[in-house]
Structure 1
């Protein structure tokens, strides 16, 4: 975190100059596309959770629980977001909420990795880039539909460890999903990434020294940095870790452009989650009340 603060401070004047020249039309277009990408990701989560519900839940109420949970994941941390969903969302069991969130984040991390790798490879190795994405998607389906996954879950009761219960619950959740569910879940997720990269193209256009292609490349680096921040579990929402990893990866960009990416990446996600949590706030009713 100290490194990030130092780099931001060193480029303070350039950052302020960069921010003063931002094209707000492109910036708002990027935020709008970012919101659509986030909604598409939510639809993927909805398809995962639906077979696990004990009682029906309206789309609006699920949106409230999901995006309020997302806000809490920013701060104080990801555990608090899931805890809110478990406490307020009595239409599903605690294991269902945990399993749905775990499967969704695994899919998000996995697709972020393969899509970002594809983008970074595209300029020099377009065929390889396409294969990375296509084979990555097919590999996900192969793992989920493999009998090995279910056999492993069956043996998990004889294993010891803190993740045994989660592994069993995840395998059970996957078993409830039909082939068409897997296709829809992956379809919404890949659409989410497509629109999200388009959002970053507009973030790139918003800055005079960059362009749409630069924004897309910056997005790929930011996604990989987000993965690093997420899996390290060092700070809430990867604060500092994500930014440090992003600056370490983005050697092709100037310090002021990297600082711009840090601010846009973190603030845009926060603003979008805040906007969507407020949008779905009227649907906060309990399971026994209309949302």
Structure 2
């Protein structure tokens, strides 16, 4: 019995010790497993953190690379634009230089053509190409001579030299009160009207040729018994210079008077000799040779 009790006690004590040891081993295993799980979780978190950091680093590198690429592209585009602008400026400069050279060449040719045309028109002009007045001290005639037949204004000396070339020189007349220089002999077919006093012995043709024909007719109706006083280039009854004459009949007009008269009549005809003419017969080269610069439309 006693042995039975001792055996039971030992069995219970052994069972208790075995259970305690088993429980201890279980606790140790549980703690070890828990530590392993924590370590595993920590490692996983660390790996995840490293992975995220690596992704962020790669993303940052990608963004930096894209930023550098965009910057390079902007710089390249800016360089190309600057080069294109420089090329355009060079082309524009070359084009402007070419246009300037062409303009200068055209201007030079126009000036040459105007010079040639001016000389041609000057030689054919009804105004003395040398001078408007006789500058000799002993000459009392202060205006040029007007040949009433060919309507050419010349000073006494020039008229004396060119009288033989007058196509109607035989029809010219000499007024009684004409004045000529003492040193120059006046030909029989020349006329020398004075500027201050109109010649009383000059014919109606000479008056009409030395005055604007339209102004002459207008004023002759008012002063039919009086002669019209006039200067050689400006009509006393008008505030503008002579600027045209009819090439066919050589009668002088103020262009404004002529156009106004023709607008009323509706036809182109000389109001002195009634000869018909066209617009091409109206001269535009009646000029004052005392002017320094004479411009013509070519």
**TM-score normalized by the length of structure 2:** 0.27
Q: Which has the higher helix share?
A: 1
**Bigger radius of gyration:** 2
Instruction: Specify which structure has the bigger relative contact order, considering alpha-carbon pairs within 8 angstroms and separated by 6 or more residues.
Output: 1
